[in-house]
């Protein structure tokens, strides 16, 4: 079901704006946070998140859409408490800032390659 839904969403976006104006981003593995285990079996949830990310990557790449993995930062929550908000679950401002650093190059590239020629 997830694969079908992602495919339909990406196809709808493609029809509307084309691949150069779309950037997809991985889902962070919240099970690694101090409170992440409160939402079901962490191992099962983590495996499902990894599967969702794999599907998104594959579906995006099949359509020449940019995919950015934020896992290098998001997975650091297990060893860096500064990456987790005070609620023990959500990303902190520091983690969001790191995501921006990772995502911004893809967005800037998308903006640069999707500019339409000026009208004469």
Q: Answer whether 101's CB lies under 8 Å from 42's CB.
A: no
Question: Residue 11 forms beta bridges with which residues?
Answer: none
Sequence spans of domains, the chain? 2-113
**What number is the average pLDDT over the span 30-58?**
95
Q: What is the mean pLDDT of residues 80-93?
A: 96
Task: Determine the average pLDDT of the residues in 10-20.
Answer: 95
CATH superfamily of 2-113: SGNH hydrolase (3.40.50.1110)
Pairwise CA distance, residues 55 & 43, whole Å = 18
Report field, pTM of the whole predicted structure over 0.85 = yes
85: left (phi over 0), alpha (psi -120 to 50) or beta: beta
pLDDT for the residue 113 = 84
């Amino acid at each position: 079901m997830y694969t079908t839904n992602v495919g339909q969403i990406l196809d709808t976006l493609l029809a509307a704006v084309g691949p150069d104006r779309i950037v997809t981003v991985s889902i962070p593995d919240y099970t690694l946070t101090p409170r992440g285990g409160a939402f079901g079996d962490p191992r099962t949830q983590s495996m499902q998140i990894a599967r969702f990310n794999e599907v998104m990557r594959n579906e995006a790449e099949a359509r020449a859409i940019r995919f950015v993995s934020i896992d290098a930062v998001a997975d650091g929550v297990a060893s860096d408490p500064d990456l987790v908000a005070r609620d023990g679950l959500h990303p902190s401002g520091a983690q969001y800032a790191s995501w921006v650093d990772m995502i911004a190059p893809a967005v800037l590239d998308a903006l640069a390659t999707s500019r339409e020629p000026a009208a004469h």
